[in-house]
Amino acid sequence: MLALTLFAVAMNKMGIIDDDTVKRVVIGVDGLLVVHYGNRMPKAVVPDPLARQATRVAGWSMVASGLVWLGLWAFAPIDVATMGGIGAILAGIAVTFAYCLTLRGRKPA
């Protein structure tokens, strides 16, 4: 991520890309990080079956919200990408939280 940021800034200094493109690249890569961590979450060893279910849903929601973040920062106007990206991440957190609340009363299978 740091190398990509430095590369984008260097390209900007040379006049190859503009400031908005640098901003889109640097902030858009954050979506890739969210996708990466969301993809890794279900692979963690969790002994409790309900916790495994919650981890799986959290991973799915992080991957989905990270992809929405990335898509918005790649193609939408910056104002829309900012608010839409924040909304996507908050929606992913809300889905995870709501699913965890539904698991509270259940017994492990």
Domain range enclosing 102: 47-109
Say how many domains are in the chain: 1
DSSP SS3 for 76 = coil
pLDDT band at 104 (very low <50, low <70, confident <90, very high): confident
Please indicate, yes or no, if residue 64 is contained in any of the structural domains: yes
Please indicate, yes or no, if residue 66 is contained in any of the structural domains: yes
* Beta strands in the chain, from DSSP E residues, in sequence order: none
What's the predicted TM-score (pTM) here?
0.86
Tell me how far apart the alpha carbons of residues 103 and 40 are, in angstroms, rounded to a whole number: 21
pLDDT for res 105: 80
Please indicate, yes or no, if residue 54 is contained in any of the structural domains: yes
pLDDT for res 109: 61
Tell me how far apart the alpha carbons of residues 9 and 50 are, in angstroms, rounded to a whole number: 45
Please indicate, yes or no, if residue 91 is contained in any of the structural domains: yes
Chain segment 12-49, per-residue pLDDT in tens = 999 999 999 999 999 999 999 999 999 999 998 888 88
pLDDT for res 107: 75
